[in-house]
Amino acid sequence: MKKLILAVCFLVAFQSGFSQIKSGEKLVYAASYNMAGMMTQLAQVKLETNTVKTSKSNYLHLSCEAVTFSKWDSFFKIRDLYESYVNPLNLKPAMYKRDIDEGGFKKKEKYVFKGNTVAATIKKRNYPESQKNFSIGANTQDVVSILYKLRTINFAAYKPGQTVGFTIVFDAKEIPVVVKFMGKENVDAGNLGAKDCYKVSISAKTDALKGRDKNLIWLTADAAKIPALIRFSIPVGTGQLTLKTASGY
């Protein structure tokens, strides 16, 4: 009976997204932007994980940084840092931080998740810091943890066209997100070589993402589900992130 209960628990955990994200993982991407029809490499994007401990809990620290290549620094320097501190088992966020500096435009945000409430602290440019509390759903993710949460979905069991819904919080607002499985494709995955990948489309009720099936992620079709390629369509244009190196997964 005990074994049966344990088996059921594992089955439920996998279906609901038991995290297989490891501490020490490092994924490095080259970010390109479409200029007059040609993809021009602008920046390096790095996704890293490490463990952070408090006296009560262990957290998985997910960090995403974007840094312009040195040739662009003189013209438009980007130093962006997005972080999420999550439960290592279910990737539920406890804290989200955003600290961006893009061509001199600076913005800082911090969300502390306490149950179904978020205590947000926002600082933009030289304006004074503002604070805001708002309610969220029980399963709301932030923009960093959602990328890792996607990797826990069992796409092997999905049919093309099948969707799954999430809710994220961004710019102090909850935004519904729909993830659609579009099939499998072979994609160059940097140091991993050419890999079969799950092609997934992301759509959200927000002005931040444009077009239908224009925001795509290719996840390697293995247990790690590393994002090998990400294509995006945003108000200022289109671009992509191509995986260069993956380690520690």
Partner 1 sequence: MKKVYLILALLFATVSIIFTVLPMGTLAFMPIIPAIAFAILAMRNSDGRILHGSRLILFVSASMLLIVIGKELFVKDEVVADKQFEQKKVESEKEATNELESEGL
Binding footprint of partner 1 on the chain (CB under 8 A): 30, 35-36, 38, 40-41, 44, 52-57, 59, 61, 63, 65, 67-73, 75, 79, 81, 83, 85, 94-95, 97, 99, 112, 114
Residue with token string 């945000």: 109
The nearest distance, CB 96 to partner 1, in angstroms, is: 10
The nearest distance, CB 164 to partner 1, in angstroms, is: 28
If the CB atoms of residues 141 and 220 are measured against partner 1, the closer one turns out to be: 141
If the CB atoms of residues 19 and 68 are measured against partner 1, the closer one turns out to be: 68
The nearest distance, CB 99 to partner 1, in angstroms, is: 7
Element (H, E) at 13: helix 2-16
If the CB atoms of residues 79 and 123 are measured against partner 1, the closer one turns out to be: 79
Q: Which amino acid, 27?
A: L
The alpha carbon dihedral of 140, 141, 143, 146 has a sign of: negative
Given a contact cutoff of 8 angstroms between Cβ atoms, the answer to whether 172 and 206 are in contact is no
If the CB atoms of residues 17 and 48 are measured against partner 1, the closer one turns out to be: 48
The nearest distance, CB 35 to partner 1, in angstroms, is: 5
**Given phi > 0 = left and psi -120 to 50 = alpha, else beta, which region is 24?**
left
